[in-house]
Structure formats: structure tokens, C-alpha cells
Amino acid sequence: MTLTNQRWVLRHRPHGEIKPGDLEFVSEPVRDLAEGEILIRNVYLSLDPTNRIWMSDQDQYMPPVEVGAAMRGGTVGVVEASRSARFQRGDIANPGLGAWETYTIAHEAMAQKIQPPPGLPLTATMSVLGMTGLTAYFGMMDIGKPKPGETVVVSAAAGAVGSVAGQIAKLQGARVIGIAGGARKCAWLTEELGFDGAIDYKNEDVGAALDRLCPNGIDVDFENVGGEIMEQVYSRMNTFGRMALCGMISGYNIDAPPPGPKDFGRILMRRLLIKGFIIIDYFPRAAEGFTDLGQWVGAGKIKWKDNVVDGLENAVDALGRLFTGDHDGKLLVRVSPEP
């Protein structure tokens, strides 16, 4: 019996926010496997701010998704058929780089077996013990390098990466201030994750709040947002401060280069380190990150939250929640039932 694959195809490069017709939900038959290939029924799809970048033709760290091609995305699923000696039917696998689709055909050279740690859900491999956790780990530990007593500020702190990054900084003995949208998110940061303070950017002046919560300045900025929030943090950074530039989501729906700091000379006068990074840069050191993250999660020292939307057909609408702030933790789409 021929299987039917449902997938989202990029039809137009979005200008501004994603609009109806920019992506199309289509159905097509699944082709036969070639030697060395496996067929993965996707169970979870990761939704990430970088998805919006991939839809554009701007200068970026990977080739943009081609118009007419399936939308790119991170997935994990169960092997339904195999022509590979490495994989058997029923294995849990990551195709390497998947797509917004029900079924993904992957070559054995690119695919990876996934084994969730005992007692943890499969979703953890897409969040705290996946690329999300690694991004937080290397951005904070390799670039931010927080020291005991230093002040760390994390923007989009209730998001998938920011929430983990802030907890890592706390484990290093730093004071951590999170910036998030809404009282509920801020309460999660301080009451459950152990942040020393939280700023509700939707309902208070960020600059005034930073002055109140960071009276001695800021040593580390884990930056996810860019724009005016980044400007307010940057202008209060101490001498030898470090900025781990993870994302600039505030500008991803704008058809123009995102603005940088107004006072560029502060980098020189304060001897600041500002380093952008992409998690693929750290793949050769992934085992290092997973070792520490696994120990922290296993010991209950890091908490996380998964936000799961049912149905691949809802992926485009769900992606919009990343840009409105209508979510917290890791945003996933459940494509099909877990095995």
C-alpha cells in the first residue's frame, strides 16, 4: 500500500509576517526507499525562530529553503521501514535535517538513533536534551562564561533556550535577571526556575527595571531578542562584559537588516566581547554539552517546559506564537502519535 505524505511547501518568500499562501499544505505519495535509506514517521516537529530566517533569501548560515520545496525543520520519529543495516523498524530516529512533513526519507549516513534517558519523555530530546539545550549550554558556558557574583541578563528568558541558559548561569553562581512578556512568565522564572529577578517588558520600562535589578551593571547578556531590548541591556554592560548573541527575533519579520547598538564605541571603551553563534558550530563538542546537561537534568537542577500543538496542519499558525510571545518553553508540533 502506498503511503501518503502531508507536508508544508514554501510557495512565496514572506514579506513581513507569514501570510496565507506563503506556505501550502499538500499531499503526495511516499516514494520507494533506495539502498541505505530509512522511512521515518515523524512524531514531533520543532518550531524555532530560525524557521522564519530559512524562508527568506537574506544572508544566512545555511542555504535558504527553495521556493517549491518542503519547509525545513527539526524532527524526531519512528522508523517505519528500513533498507539500512544500522536501523530497524521501530527505532527512534532523527533524520539529521528534516522537514515539515508526516514522513521523512533519510540516508543512514545522516540519520541518528535517539534514546530518551530513562524516565524522561521523548519531547526532552527536542528541547532540554536536544539542540535547544546545547544552544543554551554553549552560548552561556563558552561565550558568556559567568562567574560567581556576576550579573547575567537573559532576554526571551521564558523561551526554550533562554529558560535553560538562565538556569545554567545560576549553576555557575551568577545573579540572573530574565526579561519576558507577562506576569505569568516572570513568575515562572523567579518562583520555579530560581531567577533572581524578572522584567515584564510588556508592562514595565525595561531600562528602569534594569537599573533597579542590576544596580552594579551587567556582566553577561544572553541575547535572544535584539532591537530596543538589546539596546537597553547593552548600554548597561560593564567593562569586560560578554554578549552571547543567540538570536534577534524582534527583527525577523522586518524586511531590513536588524539594527545594532547605537553607541558602537562602547564595545571599545568597555572592552566588550560580542559573539554571534549558531549551534552547528558546536556539533563537534556536542557530547561535552550533553554530558553536563544530562547530569543537571537527572539531578533536578534544570527544569524545562514543553508546549505541544497537535496536528501538522497547525504548524504555520503555531510558528506565529514565537513572534507574539504566546507560548513559553519549547514549542513543538505533534505530527503523529508516539510509538
Q: What average pLDDT does this structure show over 256-281?
A: 91
Q: Within a domain: residue 269?
A: yes
pTM: 0.93
Residues 154 and 112 in one domain: no
Q: How many Å apart are CA 95 and CA 81, to the nearest integer?
A: 13
Q: In degrees to the nearest 10, what's the CA dihedral of 144, 245, 116, 88?
A: -130
How distant, in Å, are the alpha carbons of 195, 215, 217, 238 from that of 211?
17, 5, 8, 13
Q: Above pLDDT 90, what percent of the chain?
A: 87
How distant, in Å, are the alpha carbons of 124, 158, 177, 184, 301 from that of 304?
9, 10, 17, 15, 10
Residue 47 is part of a domain; what is its CATH number? 3.90.180.10
pLDDT band at 1 (very low <50, low <70, confident <90, very high): low
Residues 140 and 262 in one domain: yes
| Residue 27 scores a pLDDT above 90 | yes
Let me know: does 162 contact 186? Beta carbons within 8 Å. no
Residue with cell 521501514: 81
Q: How many Å apart are CA 226 and CA 261, to the nearest integer?
A: 9
Q: What average pLDDT does this structure show over 232-245?
A: 98
Q: Above pLDDT 70, what percent of the chain?
A: 100
Q: Within a domain: residue 339?
A: no
Helices 160-171/131-138 angle, 10° precision: 50
Mean pLDDT of the chain: 95
Residue with cell 521564558: 158
Provide the b/e sequence for 107-119 (b: ≥16 CB within 10 Å): bbeebeebeeeee
How distant, in Å, are the alpha carbons of 10, 31, 250, 322, 332 from that of 160?
25, 35, 16, 10, 10
Q: Within a domain: residue 251?
A: yes
Grid cell at residue 164: 535553560
What value, to the nearest 5°, has the Cα angle with vertex 56 and ends 178 and 229?
Answer: 20
Grid cell at residue 154: 537573559
Residues 242 and 260 in one domain: yes
Render pLDDT for 90-108 as a digit per residue (tens, 0 to 9): 999 999 989 999 999 999 9
- DSSP H helical ranges for the chain: 50-55, 131-138, 160-171, 183-187, 206-213, 227-234, 265-269, 286-298, 315-324
Q: What average pLDDT does this structure show over 165-177?
A: 98
Residues 6+ apart with CB under 8 A from 202: 181, 182, 325
Residues 101 and 192 in one domain: no
Count: domains in the chain: 2
Residues 22 and 138 in one domain: no
Let me know: does 162 contact 154? Beta carbons within 8 Å. yes
Residues 82 and 184 in one domain: no
What pLDDT score does 327 carry? 78
Q: Within a domain: residue 278?
A: yes
Residues 149 and 42 in one domain: no
Render pLDDT for 44-76 as a digit per residue (tens, 0 to 9): 999 999 999 999 988 888 899 999 999 999 999
Q: In degrees to the nearest 10, what's the CA dihedral of 266, 267, 270, 272?
A: 150
Q: Domain containing 62: what range?
A: 4-126+305-334
pLDDT band at 82 (very low <50, low <70, confident <90, very high): very high
Render pLDDT for 220-234 as a digit per residue (tens, 0 to 9): 999 999 999 999 999
Residues 250 and 112 in one domain: no
Q: Within a domain: residue 216?
A: yes
Q: How many Å apart are CA 180 and CA 186, to the nearest integer?
A: 6
Residue 178 is part of a domain; what is its CATH number? 3.40.50.720
Q: Within a domain: residue 58?
A: yes
